[in-house]
Amino acid sequence: MSLETLLRQAQRPLLIAHIAPDGDAIGSLLGLGWAMKELGRWPTLACADPVPESLQFLPGHDEIVSRRKGDEDVIVSLDSSDLLRLGSLYDQELFAALPVVNIDHHVTNVRFGSEQLIEPTAVSTSQIVYDLLRRLDWPVSPWSATCLLTGLITDTRSFRTSNTTAEALRTAVALIEAGAPLAEINGHLEHDIPMGVVTLWGRALSAARLQDGIVSVEVTRKLLRECGVSGGDASGLVSLVAGVRQAQIAVLFTEKPDGRVEVGLRSVPGVDVSGVALALGGGGHRQAAGCTLPGPLEAVRDTVLAHLAQMLAAAQPELRALGGSDSDA
Amino acid sequence: MSLETLLRQAQRPLLIAHIAPDGDAIGSLLGLGWAMKELGRWPTLACADPVPESLQFLPGHDEIVSRRKGDEDVIVSLDSSDLLRLGSLYDQELFAALPVVNIDHHVTNVRFGSEQLIEPTAVSTSQIVYDLLRRLDWPVSPWSATCLLTGLITDTRSFRTSNTTAEALRTAVALIEAGAPLAEINGHLEHDIPMGVVTLWGRALSAARLQDGIVSVEVTRKLLRECGVSGGDASGLVSLVAGVRQAQIAVLFTEKPDGRVEVGLRSVPGVDVSGVALALGGGGHRQAAGCTLPGPLEAVRDTVLAHLAQMLAAAQPELRALGGSDSDA
């Protein structure tokens, strides 16, 4: 049975977004959920973790449950690259008994499920869901459009990620025309920084260091405690410093509660940080990668900076040939 | 003679962007300039101030001059709300002798010039220039498209300002289709933060204060000197803290070299800061306004915060009626 037929026939589908949900997970979940509800189906919208406060403006967010009901006929996984990412909602027996549709845009998707709609070139899973709704000729209501546009905006950092295409902007236009209020969505997404995060940014950035084209920032457990925020709140710091004109690489070291150190890496085009991340037991993309290492922080800093400096030195001739980062404004 | 006829007949137009040029000033200047050059005209592209380093990736930026040549047949002012904003390029005698076309999107445009194309609802002057090129049926080359898309992106903070419409996104799609490389443009625009600015952000944000719904940040002359940056480099701080969840108003105080204090104000929808700015001798919009006051900084801080607190207190019943900011995530 084709994926389209399966979805057309579904009456009580269980739609699941991944744990630690972001705007695209919740946006694609609600976007598809609204379309199905408007067709008279009885979807269960589920996520093992709660909806972040910043997304609690989305229509239908309060109908998302953390446990299934038990009478489902199809399972649809959204934006999740593997079954572990479904958290407590993954149930081996249930997943063996029902058709499982896997809708995702992560290149690392392990291709679970009986039906797959995986498009690594799509900027977001919300984009894939929008295309699917068009193909099925299902209506896109203002509610569905609002959720899908939120997914599109959050996964592209408002059309600024390097994979953003004219197609993504065209979809945004269509979603606005379907009733998604762009300015209102941006207002909600942008007015959501806890004051403790501002203090954290301040104290971490005051101590930021730039050496040999590498800008680095450190967030200790002590700092997180004093600012009253979690490690996840610090993650935006690496994008902030990745814009430093003199840097080819940005690194963020975040101490976890258990003492291990999370390492976030960003680089300019032409410099590939995925190799260093992989060598240290992590992974990722050329321009955005990461790994987690046993502490203490000082040792991790020395190891990672040494690896990066070595990689940069080896890459310099190639960078110069590209007319690369030295002359790059 | 209509504006369109005037531009069609122009052979040696003098195109001028405003002083302290931003992405939209330079983008609209070059966007129109490229179109005219491709039609075999001899435009002079001028700006009294140098092109910022962050925009020196735009094709043709090195052909922008700070003085006119002297054989012009038409003057076109771009993105400038009055003649003073043209700096040393404004020449009373010349402007009286030649037709002057005034193309702008600022609501505060004083409507100088013999022909005016002023559209306050347009998100950027680059958008107006694009529409004009289409109306004239002039070609939009990849070079022109690159410059116009840069203006569109910078003036909308990448489609995040509240005035961004589906029309702006549609124009972005058309410009990408005409050859503007979106990812490359964003790469240039984002990788342009001097390291000193990161230190400045750090030190200013460490001392940010939140009280009664107002978040405030201060940048002293001493801090600017120690970080080796200028007051203009600090201006982004107010947008950073405007996102604080608990704040309805964000204020940035920046000490100028002469000791006066520049006050930047931002507010959430429903809170109007333009009245306070106006009362203190400044001006602006409801959600973004400012003024400049004689120092010292401490006195300015006390005055401005008192005005804002009073205004907020008076606005509270109205805000509650709107279901406003308290419950607003």
CB pair distance less than 8 Å for B205 and A201: yes
Q: What is the pLDDT of residues A288-308, one digit of tens each?
A: 888 999 989 999 999 999 999
Q: Is the ipTM of this complex over 0.95?
A: no
Ordered DSSP codes for A273-323: -HHHHHHTT-EE-SSEEEEEE-S-HHHHHHHHHHHHHHHHHHHHHHHHHTT
Here the tokens at position B242 are 């405007």
Is residue B321 pLDDT above 80, yes or no?
no
B328: nearest Cα among A189, A21, A28, A61? A189
Higher-confidence position of A314 and A170: A170
Average pLDDT on B236-260 reads: 93
A186-213 tens-digit pLDDT: 999 988 899 999 999 999 999 999 999 9
Q: Check if B2 contacts A (Cβ < 8 Å).
A: no
Q: What is the mean pLDDT of chain A?
A: 92
Q: What is the pLDDT of residue B1?
A: 76
Across B16-28, average pLDDT: 95
Residue B182 near residue A164 (C-beta atoms within 8 A) = yes
CB-based contact, A19 to chain B, within 8 Å:
no
Rounded mean pLDDT of chain B? Answer: 92
Task: Tell me if B46 sits within 8 A of B70, measured CB to CB.
Answer: no
- Give the homologous superfamily in CATH for domain A3-190: inorganic pyrophosphatase (n-terminal core) (3.90.1640.10)
Convert the pLDDT of each residue in A52-77 to its tens digit.
988 999 999 999 999 998 899 999 99
User: The tokens of B17 are what?
Assistant: 């962007």
| Residue A285 CA: distances (Å) to CA of A264, A266, A307, B79 | 11, 9, 17, 40
Contact A173 B176 (CB under 8 A): no
Chain A residues with CB inside 8 Å of B190's CB?
A: 160, 242-243
Contact A301, A224 (CB under 8 A): no
The boundaries of every CATH 3.10.310.30 domain in chain A are 195-321
Query: What is the identity of the amino acid at A253?
Result: F
What's the average model confidence in pLDDT over B97-113?
A: 93
User: Looking at residues B195-200, what average pLDDT do you find?
Assistant: 95
Q: Around A77, how many Cα atoms within 13 Å sit in the side-chain half-sphere?
A: 34
- Shortest distance between the Cα of A328 and any Cα of chain B, in A, equals 8
Closest CA to A155 of A133, A116, A128: A128
How many cross-chain Cβ pairs, A to B, lie less than 8 Å apart? 164
Q: Quick check: B10 and B74 in contact, CB under 8 A? A: yes
- Boundaries of CATH 3.90.1640.10 in chain A? 3-190
Q: Tell me, what's the pLDDT at A233?
A: 80
Q: Between the CA atoms of B15, B21, B22 and B26, what dihedral angle is there, to the nearest 10 degrees?
A: 30
d(CA A97, CA A68): 15
B34 vs B20, more confident = B34
pLDDT of residue B161: 87
Q: Is CATH 3.10.310.30 the right assignment for the domain spanning A195-321?
A: yes
Say whether B201 and A202 touch across the interface (CB within 8 A).
yes
Mean pLDDT of B270-282: 91
